[in-house]
Structure 1
Amino acid sequence: MLRIIIDGPRDPHYNMAIDEAIMGLRPYVKYDTLRIYMWSPSGVSIGRSQDALRAVKIEEIKRLGFKLVRRPTGGGALLHPENDEITYSVVLSLDNQLAKIPVDESASSIAKGIIDALQIIGSSAKVKDFGDKEKHDLCYLRRGSSDVILGGKKISGSAQVRNDKALLQHGTLLLRFEPEVWLRVINAPGYDHEMLRSRIAGLYEFMDVKIEKIIDSLVKGFSKELGDETFIGSLTPEEVQLSLELYQKKYSNDLWNLKGSLEQF
């Protein structure tokens, strides 16, 4: 069974706290979870093992009023622009077949939910290794098995983590890509605006579609890939409590966001 949470724009620190809370409490609920959400204010997230001081421009992030947050998943740095990106998180039980196969295979299988959603709204995309083998600090330049390519450009990528409780996959769907802003907050040596624009795009570059239609299509697309039995739900009281604790003690703490410590608190 798949619980679907259609969330609104949230604080970047709280977004990551919610996803970790859902993952941590997965053994105590009877369903997997798909959460669809956005960001307010804009966030810059870095992968679990990234060096924040090398990957991003911290003072510029602050100057623009954005928030930096370290994800529990891996991958590189991303700008999550307010109003111009939709993020999904998928939390699966370790009993789910997708948690029993290699990460690359399960990540691409989950990302097919994006492909199905785009087909519903009338666009043809594919999942394909697309980026460079080099581990760029900017995530969308990295090669991944779950890269979603539309019109020869990457519009979605994802990162996955597993522990002894569950599988968590984060993924994004860019709606509008503004490389000038990305390069102001993320380090991408050797790349200028035009180079990024030739490789990365937002959905709005290809079509004019309302956000409610996109979200509805994402629900249908991921439901097709993750399970026939679905329901629209919300966080449990226990998930709310744990997410608040994680927000206050971990994801709002510079020791975590800058240094990657405080995993246990």
Structure 2
Amino acid sequence: MRYIISENTDAYFNLASEEYLLKHTDEDIFYLWRNDNAIIVGTNQNTLSEINVEYVKEKEIKVVRRLTGGGAVYHDLGNINYTFIENSKKSFNDFRGFCEPITKALNELGVNAEFSGRNDMTIDGKKFSGTAQCKYKNRVMHHGTLLFSSKKSDISGALKPRDIKFTGKSVKSVASRITNISEHLESPMDVLEFRDRIMRSVAGGLDNITVFDAIEEEKIKKLREDKYSTWEWNYGQSPKFSMTKEGRFTGGTVEVTLDVQKGCIENIRIYGDFFGTVNIHELEEKLIGVKHQEQNVLDALKEVTLADYMVNVQNEELAGLLF
């Protein structure tokens, strides 16, 4: 088995590195890595229904889609992520088997950690890790979070979506009581010492730890640029969904209902008690086919005189209702 520790804290790079290791290597792997502030959404999720858009913008939190299913999770530098990639030694559904080396390492530190439910690890009933898996050919990738000293306020703030009505086939995250591992240690340590203790337990020491070589770095960086840092992957891959949102502005109440498919506005209806001199359906038609991204919507609205359709409603106010 190859044992890897990444010092790179860029979420785009680290998610790309997982795909590279899964699809372009053939050895068994155990990998530890950290992300600076990021929300990692499951492959089947609607990104916008999982995040607090304003909070994400304000805190400059990256949003990245992963290869595995399950719910959205928040990463910061107080969280260690682990990844196992194995050549079908275990059943695809054997979450417990993959988690056992982690709970064992924590037990060695005096932490009462155990596998719980379908795919979680807990301490005294409180969740510190959510795990997920996927399969590529004969290789299974299992990964999970290890909340060590994460900021709980950021976790709740970033993952709390705004009051929007969403419908669709995406998988929703489930809120759980969480805890940090650092609160349960017999002796204090920092997050990097904790990371090394986990690696030492799983690998049997630190003498055979590797890093990415120059060729691997370049291939991962290309995958980062071509896929993991793109809007198309992180937002445009969301399943088809519908949403409804209402706002009250100087020009009146506005309610927007829209359908989004493959990241673009497929249908949109605008209702309200606003006034205008041109039929609102003309504006709706101009927005169909526009990429469901705030800047793209604002660019489309710049091509029209919004006051013709909605007196005293600003471009930014209408665009804000679409997200």
TM-score calculated relative to the size of structure 2: 0.64
Kindly indicate whether the alpha-carbon contact (under 8 Å) linking 2:13 and 2:228 is maintained by their aligned counterparts in 1: yes
Give the letter aligned to residue 87 of structure 2: S
Quote the residue 1:170 is aligned against. Answer: 143
Quote the residue 2:87 is aligned against. Answer: 93
Give the letter aligned to residue 256 of structure 1: W
> How many residues are aligned here?
225
The superposition leaves residues 211-236 of structure 1 with CA deviations (integer Å, 9 ceiling, x where unpaired) of 34322321133337xxx9x9312224
Describe how 1:244-255 pairs up with structure 2 within 5 A.
244-255=221-232
Determine which of 53, 59, 70 is the counterpart of 1:58. 53
TM-score calculated relative to the size of structure 1: 0.77
Kindly indicate whether the alpha-carbon contact (under 8 Å) linking 2:53 and 2:162 is maintained by their aligned counterparts in 1: no
Kindly indicate whether the alpha-carbon contact (under 8 Å) linking 1:51 and 1:259 is maintained by their aligned counterparts in 2: no
Q: Higher strand fraction: Structure 1 or Structure 2?
A: 2
1:112 aligns with 2:100: yes
1:258 aligns with 2:235: yes
Quote the residue 1:138 is aligned against. Answer: none
For the residue of structure 2 that corresponds to 1:217, the secondary structure is helix
Determine which of 30, 34, 37 is the counterpart of 2:30. 34
Aligned counterparts of 1:242 and 1:9: Cα–Cα separation in 2: 15
Aligned counterparts of 1:88 and 1:57: Cα–Cα separation in 2: 26
Give the deviation of 1:151 after TM superposition: 2.0
Larger radius of gyration: 2
The superposition leaves residues 41-66 of structure 1 with CA deviations (integer Å, 9 ceiling, x where unpaired) of x1111001100011112332121011
Specify whether residues 205 and 189 from structure 1 end up closer, same or farther in structure 2 by C-alpha distance, changes over 3 A only: farther
Quote the residue 2:73 is aligned against. Answer: 78
Give the letter aligned to residue 111 of structure 1: C
Specify whether residues 148 and 221 from structure 1 end up closer, same or farther in structure 2 by C-alpha distance, changes over 3 A only: farther
Q: Give the ranges of 4+ consecutive aligned residues of structure 1 lying more than 4 Å apart after TM superposition.
A: none
Describe how 1:1-265 pairs up with structure 2 within 5 A.
2-27=1-26, 31-40=27-36, 42-82=37-77, 84-94=78-88, 97-98=89-90, 101=91, 103-105=92-94, 107-129=95-117, 144-145=118-119, 147-164=120-137, 166-187=139-160, 199-207=177-185, 208-223=188-203, 231-260=208-237
Aligned counterparts of 2:212 and 2:4: Cα–Cα separation in 1: 8
Aligned counterparts of 1:127 and 1:72: Cα–Cα separation in 2: 23
Specify whether residues 9 and 19 from structure 1 end up closer, same or farther in structure 2 by C-alpha distance, changes over 3 A only: same
Give unmatched runs, 5+ long, in structure 1.
130-143, 191-195
- Greater RCO, CA 8 A, separation 6+: 1
Quote the residue 1:134 is aligned against. Answer: none
Percent identity of equivalent pairs: 25
Specify whether residues 178 and 232 from structure 1 end up closer, same or farther in structure 2 by C-alpha distance, changes over 3 A only: closer
The superposition leaves residues 108-166 of structure 1 with CA deviations (integer Å, 9 ceiling, x where unpaired) of 1111121111122222211111xxxxxxxxxxxxxx33x11112211112100001152
For the residue of structure 2 that corresponds to 1:20, the secondary structure is helix
Give the deviation of 1:238 after TM superposition: 4.4
Aligned counterparts of 2:131 and 2:55: Cα–Cα separation in 1: 25
Kindly indicate whether the alpha-carbon contact (under 8 Å) linking 1:26 and 1:166 is maintained by their aligned counterparts in 2: no
Specify whether residues 93 and 240 from structure 1 end up closer, same or farther in structure 2 by C-alpha distance, changes over 3 A only: farther
Aligned counterparts of 1:63 and 1:189: Cα–Cα separation in 2: 14
Give the deviation of 1:10 after TM superposition: 1.5
Give the deviation of 1:176 after TM superposition: 2.5
Give the letter aligned to residue 200 of structure 1: I
The superposition leaves residues 170-209 of structure 1 with CA deviations (integer Å, 9 ceiling, x where unpaired) of 211001244432222113799xxxxx7x821011222322
Aligned counterparts of 2:192 and 2:97: Cα–Cα separation in 1: 24
Q: Higher helix fraction: Structure 1 or Structure 2?
A: 1
Kindly indicate whether the alpha-carbon contact (under 8 Å) linking 1:110 and 1:222 is maintained by their aligned counterparts in 2: no
Give unmatched runs, 5+ long, in structure 2.
164-174, 239-261, 263-323
Aligned counterparts of 1:222 and 1:157: Cα–Cα separation in 2: 19
